[in-house]
Amino acid sequence: MSAPVKSGKLAKWAMLIDTTKCVGCLACVAACHNQNELPVTEFFNRVEEREFGCFPNYNRRFLPMQCQHCDNPPCVSVCPTGASYKRSDGIVAIDTRRCIGCKYCILSCPYKARIINKEHGFVHKCGFCAALLHNNALPACVGTCPTGVRVFGDLNDPNSEISKLAASKKVIQIGKDLNTKPSIYYIIG
């Protein structure tokens, strides 16, 4: 996988998740868990499963879910301390030192992407592996996926794969009617 960072202009990070390729192996969940050094019971991402049809005309789909890094994030507007904030590169981040653990953001997130850290009491969630991006590497969930479900990149680079995919008619954003303007695009197929 090539590094996601385009030199020069400021990035606007986004991800595409192609559910038609997902086999539900949970490698992304386990990779995220390690990268972020999470306690055993805490996870930043998850994979949901849906079933369709009747035997033998049956199919199912896996739906990877995590923080959608909304451009209009409800979690940020409800945060009383400014701990949750939107970065200029599109990442919705949490300054855990300012978080008072009130959980308003957890309630406001329509994607159920935020969790409380039981040991320290702050809220945490997917941060698009900003530490890896800082080192010009891909988020942990992207690199480990065996079937290439996830494409990550910079929407400000018109030539990037993610820019082309995000503009295609095939993609949707989950909860678009909520006007959250997510940075994660899905192919549901």
The 10 Å CB-count burial string (b at 16+, else e) for 108-135 is bbebebbbeeeeeebbbbbbbbeebbee
Taken as a whole, the chain contains a residue count of 189
**By CB under 8 A, is residue 2 in contact with other proteins?**
no
**By CB under 8 A, is residue 146 in contact with other proteins?**
yes
From residue 158 to residue 187, the character string flagging contacts with other proteins as x (rule: CB under 8 A) and all else as - is ------------------------------
Residues 6+ apart with CB under 8 A from 128: 13, 15, 67, 69, 91, 139, 152
Distance CA 140, CA 129 (A): 7
Given the complex with other proteins, which of 96 and 173 has the nearer CB atom?
Answer: 96
**By CB under 8 A, is residue 112 in contact with other proteins?**
no
**By CB under 8 A, is residue 63 in contact with other proteins?**
no
Q: Which of 78, 103, 115, 122 binds other proteins (CB under 8 A)?
A: 122
**By CB under 8 A, is residue 148 in contact with other proteins?**
yes
Distance CA 17, CA 63 (A): 8
Interacting residues with other proteins (CB under 8 A):
1, 20-27, 29-31, 33-37, 40-41, 43, 46-47, 49, 51, 53-56, 58-62, 87, 93-100, 119-122, 124, 127, 130-131, 134, 140, 143-148
